[in-house]
Amino acid sequence: MLNILWPIFVVLSIFFAVISGNVENLNRAISTSTEGAVSLTLTLIGTTCLWSGIMEIASNTKIVDYLAGVLKKIIKYLFPNINKNENAQKKIIMNVIANILGLGNAATPLGLQAMEELQKDNIEKDKLSNNMMMLIVLNTASLQIIPTTVIAIRTSLNSENPTKIIFPIWLSTICAAIVGIIITKLLIKADNN
Amino acid sequence: MPIIIFIIIIFGIKENKNVFDLFIKGAKKGLEITVKIFPTLIGLFFAIGLLNNSGIIEYITKIVEPILEFIKFPKEIFPLALLRPISGSASLAVATEIIKNNGVDSMVGLIASVIMGATETTLYTIAVYTSSVRIKKTRNILIASLAADVTGIMMSIIFCKILFAM
């Protein structure tokens, strides 16, 4: 994606700046732009390491089992007939848990393994199955308990209350996930008729 | 937050886990992730810096401003809403700029923060998940995911305005 976007951004900006006589601003931008990346990375390093550490503890305890117990019922509703393929069910649950705990790097491999399991049950191999659609929608919703990256950015910019945004993030995420799930269910229904 | 950390560590102690070793292992992973995305961030801050200073964003925002005003959409957020589903690191760069320029505890700063937390990089996720099993027919999954994104962005704005009314 960025192989397309990045050159467009750069070329378009330079082109536009030259036409509108804004080149001086661009010169300044080029020399200061890397500062932003450096300071963002410096802030992210601390928080990311801290929370990855905490979540590593969580993923090695029974917390995972408790979450799996709660999730099983929801998973059954979202993925009908998933009982037949126990491996797929397990991978999906682990994928959702990794998302919830904010372990993005663990979530993606688990999600892809779940896709492979689901592909085994898929009748038309070049087309997404119902369960695959649901898995993708769940992964495009940001189901995270602690939005660590945002908190890190807010902390670095000296917010009075960096964690103030957690509650509205939960509310917005839940709304988005519900809309995604409902539309996916509707799309599946429309296809069956 | 402290309560979540407390619960997790109590669980670890109760199950006789080497809590500190686990912590170090996880923290190391965190360090690897951050180092890995650094080159991407440099590239994107460069591109976003150019976009911001070329005047092109103001130009595009001006064109769509009447629509944004009509649906009461904060115009400062518009570039973030456009980029969020496309690229995670690009939207991270844009969000950081928006939050910095408008003030971290301003309404716009809060909304940008909530959007970053409440939405995902939809297009990237769909691409990775479908290509991993070599699937081409994606059955309108894009519609469902983008609808979720739009809902997430709209709800972020609405909840911020309700909860942080100044």
The pLDDT of B139-158, averaged and rounded, is 92
Query: Using CB atoms, which residue from B105, B126, B155 is nearest to A136?
Result: B126
B80/B103 same-domain check:
yes
Q: Which residues 14-73 on chain A approach chain B with CB closer than 8 angstroms?
A: 14, 16-17, 20, 22, 25-26, 28-30, 32-34, 36-38, 40-41, 44-45, 48-58, 60-63
Whether the CB-CB separation of A88 and A114 falls below 8 Å is answered with: yes
Q: Verify that B44 and B92 share a domain, yes or no.
A: no
- ipTM of the prediction: 0.81
Domain that holds residue A121: 42-192
Structurally, how many domains does chain A consist of? Answer: 1
Tell me the torsion sign for CA atoms B19, B22, B28, B30. Answer: negative
| Whether A191 contacts B144, CB under 8 Å | no
- pLDDT values of chain A reduced to their tens digit, one per residue, 193 residues: 567 778 988 999 899 888 888 788 888 888 888 887 888 788 778 877 888 888 888 888 888 788 888 888 888 889 987 777 888 888 898 889 888 877 776 788 788 888 988 998 888 888 888 999 999 999 988 788 888 888 888 988 899 999 899 999 999 999 999 999 999 999 988 887 7
The answer to the question of residue A34 being in a domain is no
Contacts of B29 (CB under 8 A, 6+ apart): A52, A56, A105
> What is the count of structural domains for chain B?
2
- Structural domain boundaries enclosing B80: 69-166
pLDDT number for residue A125: 86
Q: Check residue A1 and give its pLDDT.
A: 58
Q: Is the pLDDT of residue B113 over 90?
A: yes
Residue B125 lies in a domain: yes
Among the residues of A20-141, which ranges form H helices?
Answer: 23-59, 63-78, 86-100, 104-121, 130-140
- Res. B118: pLDDT tops 70: yes
Cβ-Cβ contacts under 8 Å, B122 against chain A: 140
